[in-house]
Amino acid sequence: MTGQIPERIGARTTLQKLLSRFHFGITLFAVALSGLTILLAGVSALRGYADRNMELAAQLGAYGVEPALVFNDPQAAREGLEPLTRIPGIARLRVLNDRGQPLTQWSSPMADPAPLLTRMFFPRPFAVAIERNGSAIGTIEVWGDSSTLIDYVRIGLLAGLGCLLITALGTIFLARRFEYELVKPLNEIATVAHDVRLHRRFDKRVKPLGIAELDRLGGDINNLLDELQGWQGHMESERAMLAHRASHDTLTAMPNRDAFDEQLAQRIASADARGERFALLFIDADNFKAANDSFGHAAGDAVLVALSACIKDTLRKGDFAARIGGDEFIVIVDPLDAETVPDDLARHIRACVAQPVTLPGGETYQASASVGVAVYPDDGGDATALLTAADAAMYANKLRNRSKA
């Protein structure tokens, strides 16, 4: 799947390239169309002018050589043609008398620059009959050549090339403009989508866009993100609740045995690292089973809640308390400095617990608790040893309490 993605991107074209190609095609088409039209119009107009030019030349020649034909004088005919030989675009001239015999002829010394063009424009000579007082006395024939047309064709080709260049530049400009107008908003949307997918940044939103369709797309994406953000928040709070539930006791809202084990391991590691000590108070309600049996579970719960309240009351900042069993609680007293005496804390808890508790049934019950203290690393080098030591201390305390009672 991941191997396919680069291949697909590589095979695809960008929007800008697509637009550029499209623009180039359209502009080229337009330029070609208009160029062709102008070329055709130009060629037909030019052809008209060339024809007219030849005709005028022939008329001029006819006027000039008329007396020469009357007097049958080839020299005068040559002189009559002289003005025509200076007109560019004439390849050949011939004067025929009334019997069709040539009186004089002239050929341009310059070579035809484009014989193909000449054949296209002047396939046959222009012949004008020469008349004297209404009777034909001869004919003058004029052949054109391409020397005047070649300039037009050259300029036309240059202009075409220039248009092509302008087309290319215009296309680039238009494509740039389109990139700015269209590709940029699309990129904006893509960036937001990418950010959301990759970095889970559900707070990102697409800014308002100038193009209506894209703005609508952006709005839809924003709505989708709103929903996603809602789901995400809901899921996170659900997960936090589940996590809390997994690590906490529901009755006393104190961390449970799992949370305690984790916490203890951390505290040991931290104390080892800093070379400090901390104390563990193991607290167990006395005669809890008996109270539970004689007053009911609700009373037992009330006793546990009261006990937990006393423990929470004793906690300082940094201390940690957990309910690790039915009537067993543990407090991690950390840090354990010179002013803190674990035994004082134990006494404080026991004094607190000794206050009468009002049971749901209306009776009062006086509970008592046994507290054992173990200090890390003095009483145990690891979690199990420390717990065992604290348990033993608690048990010793319980025995002492019973013998007192």
Partner 1 sequence: MLASLFLIGASLTTPQMSVQAASQTIVEDSDDGMTRAVNRMVGGIVSYARWPDGAADSTRVMCVIGTPRLTNRMAPDVPGAGSVLVRRLSVGTVAGRADCDILFLGRMAIADRRQLIAWVRGRPILTITDDDAACIYGAMFCLSNRAANLSFSVNLDAIGRGPLRIDPRVLSIGRSAGGPP
Which residues are part of the catalytic machinery?
Answer: 327
Least separation in angstroms between CB 102 and partner 1: 13
Least separation in angstroms between CB 141 and partner 1: 20
Contact call for residue 61 and partner 1 (CB under 8 A): no
User: What sign does the CA torsion over 300, 303, 308, 309 have?
Assistant: positive
- Listing DSSP states for 310-335 in one string gives HHHHH--TT-EEEE-SSSEEEEEE-S
The region of 19-27, 61-69, 165-173, 335-343 touching partner 1 under the rule CB under 8 A is 61-69
Residue from 4, 13, 135, 403 in contact with partner 1 (CB under 8 A): 135
State the distance between the two ends of the chain, measured CA to CA, in whole angstroms.
Answer: 75
Q: How far apart are CA 250 and CA 184, in angstroms?
A: 55
Least separation in angstroms between CB 74 and partner 1: 7
CB nearer to partner 1: pick between 64 and 300: 64
Backbone angles phi, psi at 210, to 5 degrees: -75, -25
User: What sign does the CA torsion over 260, 264, 267, 269 have?
Assistant: negative
Give the residue among 79, 81, 63, 50 at the shortest CA–CA distance from 144: 50
The region of 13-21, 59-67, 227-235, 281-289 touching partner 1 under the rule CB under 8 A is 59-67
Contact call for residue 134 and partner 1 (CB under 8 A): yes
HSE toward the beta carbon, residue 166, CA cutoff 13 A: 9
Residue from 14, 37, 44, 72 in contact with partner 1 (CB under 8 A): 72
Q: Report how many helices (DSSP H) and strands (DSSP E) the chain contains, helices first.
A: 12, 10
Residue from 62, 76, 299, 394 in contact with partner 1 (CB under 8 A): 76
Contact call for residue 64 and partner 1 (CB under 8 A): yes
Contact call for residue 133 and partner 1 (CB under 8 A): yes
CB nearer to partner 1: pick between 98 and 215: 98
Least separation in angstroms between CB 67 and partner 1: 5
Reading the block at residue 269, the tokens are: 């590691």
Q: Kind of pairing, strands 320-323 and 364-365?
A: unpaired
CB nearer to partner 1: pick between 66 and 327: 66
Residue from 67, 115, 210, 325 in contact with partner 1 (CB under 8 A): 67
Would you say 279 and 376 are in contact if contact means Cβ atoms under 8 Å apart? yes
Least separation in angstroms between CB 86 and partner 1: 17
Point out which residues bind partner 1 (CB under 8 A). 63-64, 66-68, 70-76, 79-80, 131-135, 137
